[in-house]
Every structure is written in structure tokens, then in C-alpha cells.
Structure 1
């Protein structure tokens, strides 16, 4: 994969570098907080080679898969130093809160996961008698695994300060006071501040006190930066900010955050105690849709709070284990049954990824596109999750559950916990695999050597390289053609099914009966018209024939607004085919062949 080309295409179709307010990533997705979500060209974004899917709610989530870190680095490097343009769209408070939570908690996962898995492996080594718990080596390695969770307030201070764009080191200094060994000792012995008794709270492993502390510090920093003399600001503002923030945190915000974290974990566990295994089963059953929408991330604060308070979690992570392994079962069954080379390869790769805890390739590439596979995954997740809940399986590390991380279920007190986890995972896999193997049917493929596209619009044919857009002209999205239109009608170039109609009406994507994935894009930057002058005549999921009217558009309005009206037709999976295109500048006869293609051997 060309990471630089993919990164450039991503930036171009989210409204440019100036529209990006914040960039982060999880195990499979780029998560972009944008200044204006209406500037996203979602069909073009989804059609970029290497992009598995796009979800837009609070954040713009670009599903990449295993190459997400490399794409993230490339996007961040290209976007660095670019000035922000436009203004923030008016977001609801709830949406802004969700964005804040994801931005603060998501970056914590790798450190917590690494430490947690290391501790679980040490427990395994102790059980096997290979590394006794009493040995010095075990104790040192255990300290390594314990450090991320113990110093969680410091890590949270860093992510919160980054999100709020305040001085990270001063924010960390403020939070560090709460976990100083001397401060912990003084709190335990009893100490007063301005004649007020401070509560004896162990702030290690807590997250919400640190978040509230940095939130308050951000206001203090802005206030003192504004009113401190410029010659003294370098030391006066940090000093005054610390002098105000730390006492307020120790007296009010720290105890409040502690109660908030304890209450969140307690409420979830109370619900679990009332619903029992049903809660785990239901959560596992709906996880395919939660993960697809990216709404599983708001569960992270609960999991982190549970880990910090109880050193274990018994709802979300067991449910995720059942779901992840069920996804693998369905994909591997399809890989075994399919006769299509592309489908077989996709399903096999997605199944292996799911066994390793990464389910997005399975969701977007297989299960959400095949109802039988989706139903099998849901049924297996419910049954497997129900079993794990019935057996009260607990997780002891925050990491995506999988066969590779199964040691996260090793309990320091119960050897049965890991056994039940393996049995639940095996049950989910078996049900999903068998159900898909017996009930999934591959759609019959149309066998043909040569195929063709017909003219999508009246006008003049030009090469794709002449289009005044780097993403299209460089072939980043795939091979194709372009038409300078002379009338305001866009027609279907082939038989197939409409995959998506963009909200603005300026772009349509379709899957042809021969398996070509086509995107038709009217104009350059015409998304800025916000749908004015575009009138789609089809809807997603509709079956169409070559020559059917797809979109009517006001060509004069596009030209008057100063936009290039060129129509681009790109085959995003063009690596599967070889093409022969009509000569450039040829006047086009409506519905006549414009390009022939055959599947590459």
C-alpha cells in the first residue's frame, strides 16, 4: 500500500488539512475530529484503496485495518502545520462530550493493554512453575506490568492536556501531586488544607480525578496567561495555575472524581448482578452494530474505571471475546466454501484478523454484506456471551479479546476462569462456523470474458489524467474516465445495484453485476454546494440497468458558482480488471459503449 497516496486522498476527502482539528487512531481506524463534518466526501473517502469503510457520527472514522498506524503517521505528517480553516459546526453537548471521552481514553488502551497482558502472562508462568511469584525477576516484571495502571492519572493528564491543547508538563505536574508517595502517606495519616480535612483517597489507578484536575487547570492557565505580564508569564502563569489547581483538586475535584469513577463501575456491576448472564449475552449480540458504528468506544471509561477499582472486568470484555471469535468462525467458513478467489482471500484474511481481536475487516468485508453470516455471528455471540456470563468469566487486562490475548482471562485466584473463557470462545466459534458453513450460499457469478460500460453522460470524453483533482488524476482511487458534460443528467454506465447515494446528491456508487465497484462523481468540490442543484433519482440498494437515470443536476448553476462540472467515473477495484477506453475527445453518443474491460488473470 502507498501510505502517502492514501493519506493524501484521506485528507482531500475530509475537507483538507485545514478542516482537521484532531487526529488519533485505534487498532483499525483513523479517528478524525473535524471542524465541519459537512465537508466530508464520504463516497470518495470510502472508495480510496485500502479504506475498508467510513463511519461519521461525532468523529469521522476511517476504517483502515492492519496498516492504520502507517496511514495515521502519514496523515499526521501531511496535516502538521496546516492552518485551520472554517469554523466549528454547532455540535450538541452530548456529541462534544462523546468526542472528548474518546479522545482522552482511546490513547490509553495500548499502555494499559501491554501492562495487563504482561501481568496475566506472569500469572501463567507462576502457575506452570516456570517463574515463581517469590522470585526477584517475577517481582520486577510484575512492577513493569503494574506501572501503566498505577500511574493512570499521569497518563490521563497527558491525553486530557493534549485534547484541551494546554501545557502538558504543567498539567502532569498538577496531577502528580495526587500520586506522590509522601502525599499518599499524609492523606492516610490525616492532613488539613486551609483548616479543611482532606479525604483519604488512594488516587493511584484513578482517571476521573485527573480529568477534572486538568479541566480546571485549562481554565486557570488561560486566565493567568491572559493577565500575567509577558516578561513574567513563563514562570508566573504555571506557578499560579498550580497554586490554584492543586488545592481545588485535593479539596473538591479529586473526591468528586473518585466518587464518579466508583459510581460508574458500581452501577454497571449492579446492573450485571440484576440481569446476570443475560446482560453479557445481549451486549455480545449487538456488538456487530456497535463496532460498525464506532459506539463501542464509550464503553472504555467504564472498563478503565472497573480495572482501576476492582482490577477486573466481567461484562464488556467477555462479551467482546464471544463476538470477536464468532466473527472469525463465520469468515473462515466462507473462506472454506467460497469458489470466488477474491471472496476466499478476503474472508480468510478477515477471519485471521478476528482471531487476533481485530474485527473491522470481518465486519465491513464479510458479515455486514452477507445476512446469513451476520445472523450466524449474532446467534453465536449471544450463546457464547451468555455462557461466559453464566460462568462469571472475568478479564484482568484491557485489550481486545482474542486467541492471541487469551491470557487476559487468567485469574490469580481461580484456574477455572481461563478454562471457561476458552470454552465460551470455542462455543461461539463452533456455532458461527457451522451455521455459516451450512446456510451461507454464494451468489452465482455471471460468467463472461468481456464487459463494457456505456456513456454516463452527454459530452466530451477526456482522460482521467486531465481532471483538475490530484486524487482522481493520479489514479489514487482507481482507473476510469472523465466526461465534460453538455447536459445535466447522469446515467448508469452498467447493470448493477446502487451502493450509496451521497447526501449532497453529487456522487453515486454502484456495484455492477460483473463485480466492478464504480463511483460517479459530478464536479470538483461541488460538495460545497450542499446539494443545491442536485436531484438524485435512485436510492441505495436499488437495482438499475445500464442507461437508467441516476442524477439530474443544474449544469448552469455549477458553472455559475465557479466549479468544474467534469463527471468522473472511477472503478475503485480496478486492480481486478484490464481496460480498453475509447479515444479521448471523442463526442459521446448517449448509452453507447465507452470502455470495455475483462477480469485480469
Structure 2
């Protein structure tokens, strides 16, 4: 294969090096972030020898199979890309076209980058605050004592200085000096400045609006965005010998007054309007709004769209001390996920699935719903139906009683005291009632609706295709075909159910997928390891003298850069059927937000046909047959 010629043709048809903002790769595909997504010639790309498929989505993906590393390396040379960033456009190429990227994903990515790093601090402070409320309500601590006050200050300080913390994350996202950016926003909280504003301040005869910036996020976001423009502008025009002080001095000189005069008040008003708008929706639709939000949360969390609600939640809690919509909806969702998992654990006969369900149920009840969502809910339609119904009823119950949360943290059994309200003693009891409704209803519905045999990859009820890896006799020759055992313990599903178009459409080749119950990959037959990918989430193997197998663990797990994966073999190793090839942390992958589904496909699909083994062969341990194509 002419990898250089292939790379040249791909680069030309994606719009040239100047159109590439970022280039990366995973086990089978090249991943492009393009400045202008209208430039690629889709038909020409599909016609390039060696290109198996082209996928246009949040990233532009060109599927090239097992030769991805060789083609990627040639692209780095041809495009002059940095091997770390894979970027040409960022270093002087076509920057102007970046505005043509879809605004929705750009905004969502920005919000996640700004608020995700703040979650641990806000969650820790929030739970501490809720625990203090609980202790005070039970009269276990003296609310006037200095110990209680100091602990309260620890919690309150995180939110008080939120403008500075936000400045750090925005500056990191914008790739500017985060220390100077934080210094610029610290003026908003400087005691002498706040005192001057309260007395009536002006700058160059322009009046400065008196705004209380403590706990605000939008003024800091707008201020640092402006600072980023100033830093980049003065970097271009500053003489190099004086850059060390000239750039920060001039950036501060322009940023702080503009923030005080314009951006700060605008950001404060924006946050107020956002909170008012959401409260208006709640007031108009009441309990229905909370129920509907809770019902769609599984889909929002799966796509990351729930992150878009973070600015509203933060602003509502910090400005009014409570939040009526998102936090109650999250409580209903987290409890429903937990209960459904425990119901699955009771009903299933598969020990691996039971272990996954129990651990996921425990995580969900403590506010971490991703393991349950990716490992159980989205894999089993009837469980999803149970959860959607339970979330709506539980959320509507919480909305009917106007339950409000008081801290920015995912509601859970550990943080349930976040619903304690000294001014409304019933708020906590209503929250417990909503929790109980969501939990019990989800548990009962899942017990009734979910039947394990229906989940069996389209097989007739009762047929056992839920095999686990067996380390003996895995290489079975059936007729002219090669019989392969299941390489990963867990529940077998068809490729069509994999949530990735490249695999589900069989563009790479035919095979199977497994929802793993245990993070171990075994050799399904004797063979030779061909490739172990740098990020360790995939490897290729040659079996039967010519069958090329690709094992790919998870969807988009290339982004984990090897975290949660441990390969036990290297390219060139001869392995026997049943040898352990890789260990991977299923729960770690799920908690990182990725689908852990394990995919096994035959990549030289033009030479071999993949068929499912019959009942007798499955009983002997063979899962699928690979047969040569007869020309």
C-alpha cells in the first residue's frame, strides 16, 4: 500500500493543510477538525484506495483501518503538522474560516471547559455547606460558635471568589496568561474597589455601576474574553525586549476599566435575565417542567447537553440561594438510575452483569449516574423506558411541592441535606418524598418490564448467547470456516446497536460487540499480534493464516490516551487461544463519560464472510464463524 500517496490524496480532498485545525487518529480512523467543513470533497475521499468510509459529525473522520498509523505519520510530514497538536491552521493557516463551525458544539465545548474544572471545588464546598445545615437543624452544633463559623467560611469562600476561579478556567481555555487574567478579575472583589462603587465611582467621567460581583460568573467570563483579545493584540505589537511587563500592563490597563464600565454590568444583567427566564418557565409550567426535564436527562447526560445548564444553576444558587428546576430533576434521575440497576442485579442470572449493575447502582445513589447510564440504561431499552417514566413522575412530584436545592452539587444520598431550608422546614421532607417516589417506581417498573432473555441480540427468548470468555479450546475449525469464541466477558449485541456509525454500518467489517461485564480481552483463537495502538485501547491480530481481527474497546476512548487500559502483548507476539491480551477498567471508562462496548471485527471483509454460529456450535463455545470468500 502506498501510504504516502494515500495520505496526499486524503489531505488534498479535505481541503489542504491550511484547512486542518487539528489532526488526530484512533485505532481505525483519521480524525480531522476542519476550519471550513464545506471544503472536503466527500466523493473523491471515498474513492481514494484504502479509504473505507468517511464520517461527517462533530469531527471529520476518514476510516482507513489498520494502516491508520502509517497514513497519519505521512500526513504529519506532508502537512507540516505538529505531532503534538496535529495543527496547521492554528499556526498561520486559514483561521478566518473557524467561524463557520457550528455554534452549538462550540458553545457547549466552551461551557464544559470553563465549568468542569470548577465542579470538584463547588461540590466539596456545597456538600460541606449542606452537612453544616443538617448539623445546625439537629442542634448538634452551635451556630454562633467560631468552629461553625470557620467551617461556614470554608464553604462560602469558594462561591464568594467564583469570579477569580472562573477567570482561571476561561483563561486556560483561551490559552492566555491565567494569572494575569485572574488578577484582572480580582479587582471586582477588591475591598477598596467595592467600597468606592458603593459610594458612587466614575472613571474618566463615566459612571461605574455599583454591582455586587461576589459569586458571579458571567462578568468574569466576558471580562477574560476581552482580556484574551487584549493580550493577543499587544503580543503582536509589543517590542520583544519589554514584553514581560508591557503586555500584562497594557492588557490590565484596558481590561479592568472596560469590565467595570461595560462588561461587568452586562454580565451581571445576563445572569439575572437567565435566572429570571428559567424561573418564568418553572412558574408557567410548574411541576410539569421539572418532570419533563427529569425525563429527558438520560439523553441530555448521554450527549453532554446537561452541561449547558451549569451556568444557570450556579447563578441561581449564588444569587438567590436556591434552585427549583435542575437540582430536583437530577435528584429524581439519579435515584431512578440507582433503583433500576439494583432491579437488574436481582433479575439477571449473569454474574458479570450483576456485579456491574450493583456497582453502578451504588455510584448512582451517591450522585454519579454515568456508570449506570452507559453500562445499563442505554444498553437495555426496557430499563430506559422504566427510568424515563420514573424520572417524570418523581420529577413532577418534586416540582409539585416546589422543592429547591441550595448547593451546586449532584443530588445524592450523601448530599440530600442540600434540600434543608431553615425558612421552609417542609422542603427537606418533600425532597425525601420525591426521592422515594422515583426510587420505588423505577425499581418496580424495571422488575416488571425488563426480562433478560429479550436482551439477547435479537435471538429467540431463552437461547443463550451470553457467553463469557473460556480459556480452553477456543480455536475451533468448523468446516472451511474458523470458529471464534467470545473475546470479552459480557452480553453480546449486534454491531448495528453500537453507537458509532463506522462500526454499526459495518464500514470497517463485520463482527460482534460485547457490553463488557469484566475488563479482560482474550485471544479468540491462535494467532499473531499485528498492532498494539499507542493509546492501548485497541489491537489487531492475525488468525487462521489470513483473518485480520481488530479489537476496539469503547467508543472514542482514544481520547483517554491509554488511561484505564493495560495491554499485555506487543506486536509480533505469538498467542494461543484463551491468552489474556488486555485488561481495561470498565467502570473507569464509564465514569470518564465513554461507552465501554468491546468491538471485534474482521477488517479484510473482501476476503472473508462472518456468520453467527448455530445453537450446537454455541453450546461448544463457538460464537461466530469466519469463512473465506470463494471467487
How many Å separate the matches in 2 of 1:393 and 1:509?
49
Match of 1:393 in 2: 403
**Hey, what does 1:231 align to over in structure 2?**
241
1:186 paired to 2:196: yes
> Deviations for 1:196-253, whole angstroms, at most 9, x for unmatched residues?
1111100111111101111111111111111111111111111111111111111111
Question: How many residues are treated as equivalent by the alignment?
Answer: 466
- The residue aligned with 1:446 is 464
Q: Give distance in 2, aligned partners of 1:116 and 1:513.
A: 35
RMSD: 4.4
State the Cα distance separating 1:346 from its structure 2 match.
Answer: 1.5
Corresponding position of 2:548: 567
Question: 2:259 & 2:479 partners in 1: Cα distance?
Answer: 64
**TM-score (normalised: structure 1):** 0.69
Offset of residue 373 of structure 1: 1.4
What do residues 387-430 of structure 1 show as CA deviations (whole Å, max 9, x unaligned)?
Answer: 10011111111111111211211213222212111111111000
C-alpha distance in structure 1 between counterparts of 2:227 and 2:480, whole Å: 59
Among candidates 60, 64, 68, match of residue 38 of structure 1 = 60
Q: 2:314 aligns with which of 304, 307, 311?
A: 304
1:106 paired with 2:116, answer yes
For residues 351 and 452 of structure 1, what CA distance do their matches in structure 2 show?
A: 37
2: CA distance between counterparts of 1:218 and 1:258? 20
Q: For 2:463 and 2:308, how far apart are their aligned partners in 1?
A: 41
Task: After TM superposition, give the deviation of residue 41 of structure 1 in Å.
Answer: 7.2
Q: Which residue of 2 aligns with 1:403?
A: 413
Alignment gaps of 5+ in structure 2:
1-23, 36-56, 67-81, 91-97, 454-461, 525-529, 533-545, 555-566, 569-575, 580-606, 623-631
Post-superposition offset of 1:435:
1.3
* Greater RCO structure (CA 8 Å; 6+ sep): 1
Instruction: Output aligned runs, 1:393-472, within 5 Å.
Output: 393-443=403-453, 444-446=462-464
The DSSP-based 3-state class of the residue aligned with 2:577 is strand
Counterpart of 1:242 in structure 2 is 252
Match of 2:303 in 1: 293
Q: Distance in 2 between matches of 1:128 and 1:258?
A: 37
How far apart are 1:82 and its partner, in Å? 2.7
Distance 2:516 2:126 in 1: 48
Per the TM alignment, residue 508 of structure 1 is displaced from its structure 2 partner at its CA by 4.8
The 1-side partners of 2:303 and 2:208 are apart by 43
Deviation for aligned residue 1:84: 3.3
Following TM superposition, by how much is the alpha carbon of 1:93 offset from its aligned partner in structure 2, in angstroms? 2.5
Structure 1 residue 87: deviation in Å?
4.5
Structure 1 unaligned segments of length 5 or more: list them: 1-9, 22-34, 45-79, 464-476, 481-493, 526-564, 582-587
Query: Equivalent residue of 2:305, what SS?
Result: coil
**Aligned residue in 1 for 2:497:** 499
Q: Once the two structures are superposed, what CA deviation does each residue of 1:238-290 show, in whole Å capped at 9, x if it has no partner? A: 11111111111111111111100110011000110111111000001111111
Deviation at 1:590, TM superposition (A): 7.0
Is 2:196 aligned against 1:215?
A: no
2:292 aligned residue = 282
C-alpha contact 1:512 1:518 (8 A) present in aligned 2: no
The question of whether the paired residues in 1 share the 8 Å contact of 2:510 and 2:610 is answered with no
Structure-1 residue corresponding to 2:512 = 510
Distance 2:523 2:263 in 1: 52
Structure 1 residue 333 corresponds to structure 2 residue 343: yes
Equivalent position of 1:554 in the other structure: none
Could you tell me whether the CA contact under 8 Å between 2:337 and 2:369 is conserved in 1?
yes
Name 1:376's counterpart in structure 2.
386
TM-score (norm 2): 0.65
| Residues in 2 aligned to 1:309 and 1:514: alpha-carbon distance in whole angstroms | 44
Task: State whether residues 101 and 298 of structure 1, in contact with CA within 8 Å, keep that contact through their aligned partners in structure 2.
Answer: yes
Query: What is the rounded CA distance, in whole Å, between the counterparts of 2:240 and 2:313 in structure 1?
Result: 44
- Report the more deviating stretch, 364-373 or 345-354: 364-373
- State how far apart, in whole Å, the 2-side matches of 1:419 and 1:276 are: 19
**For residue 171 of structure 2, what is the aligned residue in structure 1?**
161
The CA deviation string for residues 86-137 of structure 1, in whole angstroms up to 9 with x for no partner, is 5577522232122112211221221111111111111111111121111111
Q: Which structure 2 residues correspond to residues 5-20 of structure 1 after superposition, within 5 A?
A: 12-13=26-27
- Taking a change above 3 Å as real, the CA distance of residues 524 and 180 of structure 1, as seen in their structure-2 partners, is same
d(CA) in 2 for partners of 1:589, 1:133: 74
Bigger drift between 342-351 and 391-400 goes to 342-351
Of 270, 281, 294, the match for 2:280: 270
- Look up the match of 1:25: none
Q: 1:140-173 deviations in whole A, cap 9, x for unaligned?
A: 1100000111101001100000000001111011
In the TM superposition, residue 308 of structure 1 has moved relative to its aligned partner by 2.1
| Bigger mean CA deviation after superposition, 11-20 or 121-130 | 11-20
Does the 8 Å CA contact 1:456/1:591 hold for their aligned counterparts? no
Label 1:428 to 1:512 Cα distance change in 2 as closer, same or farther (>3 A). Answer: closer
Query: How far apart, CA to CA, are the structure 1 residues paired with 2:263 and 2:198?
Result: 18
Within a 5 Å distance, the mapping from 1:75-154 to structure 2 comes to 82-85=84-87, 87=89, 91-154=101-164
Q: Distance in 1 between matches of 2:411 and 2:488?
A: 39
State how far apart, in whole Å, the 2-side matches of 1:513 and 1:211 are.
Answer: 41
Q: Is the 8 A contact 2:522 2:577 kept in 1?
A: no
**Contact persistence 1:221–1:241 (CA under 8 A):** yes
Please list the CA deviations of residues 292-347 of structure 1 after superposition, one character each: whole Å capped at 9, or x if unmatched.
Answer: 11111111011111122112111001001001101111110110111111221111
Equivalent residue number for residue 558 of structure 1? none
Q: For the Cα contact (< 8 Å) 1:125–1:132, is it kept in 2?
A: no
Distance 1:388 1:172, change over 3 A: same
Q: Deviations over 1:537-581 (max 9, x none)?
A: xxxxxxxxxxxxxxxxxxxxxxxxxxxx98324386999xx9369
Partner residue, 2:183: 173
Alpha-carbon distance in 2 for matches of 1:14, 1:159: 33
The question of 1:253 aligning with 2:234 is answered no
Q: Distance in 1 between matches of 2:65 and 2:298?
A: 22
